[in-house]
Structure 1
Amino acid sequence: MLWIKALHIVFIVSWFAGLFYLPRIFVNLAMEQPGATTERLLLMARKLYRFMTMLAVPAVVFGLLLTWMQYRTPQGMTMPGWLHAKLLFVVLVLGYHHACGSLLKKFERGVNKRGDKFYRWFNEVPVLLLLAIVILVVVKPF
């Protein structure tokens, strides 16, 4: 179980590195003047999004496996309240990941309507989600 936990942590850290950086690329893309060359930034964003997705899959799989190993009983799954809350935040992280993919497609099509300030705030969302998840896992408040 410790091997699975270690791999889960490594994949989570790697995935979140991408979640922190991709919106920074969006900030730079939003700051570009119309007609300016943005292909290099779009290429970086595309590659990063694909890589993030490949990291998210094992992170989620190892997390679910840990949950199943730790909280299964002969009567079924008995999970504490903090774990239910954590799983809710994980779903929000997955939604944020998906939103990043949708925003990337808008940049690729040249139909982005949002400015760099929006993306600066958007970039703070994964920090708050990670903070909530870590507090739930470490403190186990309920």
Structure 2
Amino acid sequence: MTDWLALIYPYAKAFHVMAVISWMAGLFYLPRLFVYHAERGQTPEPAGSFVVMEDKLLRLIMNPAMIATWVSGLFLVLTPGIVDWSMAWPWTKAACVLGMTWFHMWCARQRRLLQARQGHSGRRYRIMNEVPTLLMVGIVVSVIVKF
């Protein structure tokens, strides 16, 4: 069974990188849309535009990219000889990926709250916009340095 994982490993890795780039782009951009929505979306027309952009970004780009990241990532970690689970790096990467997934779900909830005009301030969304950057640093350092 694991022979086919070794055969598809380079393709799974390439697909994983593309999926991560798409997911991260959305995780960086959606909270920025929340800032604009919270600060400028007081009138019905701009708020409607933000709602459409946020919805499409989350449903059409971020959700599929997150799923593709997880699926391809699981193919990678299940490939024999790729991950040494006795080291710290796979565990720190896993923790950061779980954090990234939590942030994705937080964004999905915030989108619904903003639609209902119950969201946070633009300042809070600006602060939260830094979360995916910190998690990305943890992931990249874990994978490249392999401590």
Return the alpha-carbon distance in structure 2 between the equivalents of residues 29 and 71 of structure 1. Answer: 47
Report the more deviating stretch, 28-37 or 11-20.
28-37
Contact 2:13 2:76 in 1 (8 A): yes
The match for 1:86 is: 93
SS at 1:92's partner residue? Answer: helix
User: 1:59-138 residue pairs with structure 2 within 5 A?
Assistant: 59-71=69-81, 79=85, 80-112=87-119, 114-138=120-144
Shift of 1:110: 1.4
Distance 1:55 1:85, change over 3 A: same
Distance 1:119 1:71, change over 3 A: same
Out of 20, 23, 34, the position equivalent to 1:12 is 20
Shift of 1:78: 5.5
Shift of 1:32: 2.0
- In the alignment, does 2:48 pair up with 1:42? no
Report the more deviating stretch, 78-87 or 91-100.
78-87
Paired residue total: 136
Amino acid at match of 2:116: R
Return the alpha-carbon distance in structure 1 between the equivalents of residues 105 and 81 of structure 2. Answer: 28
Amino acid at match of 2:26: G
Identity %: 32
> What runs of 5+ residues in structure 1 fail to find an aligned partner?
none
SS at 2:64's partner residue? Answer: helix
Shift of 1:108: 1.0
| TM-score, normalised via structure 2 length | 0.87
SS at 1:70's partner residue? Answer: coil
| TM-score, normalised via structure 1 length | 0.90
RMSD (Å) for aligned C-alpha atoms: 1.6
Return the alpha-carbon distance in structure 2 between the equivalents of residues 129 and 48 of structure 1. Answer: 20
Q: CA deviation digits over 1:86-141, x for unaligned, max 9? A: 101100000000000000000111112x2111111111110110011000000012
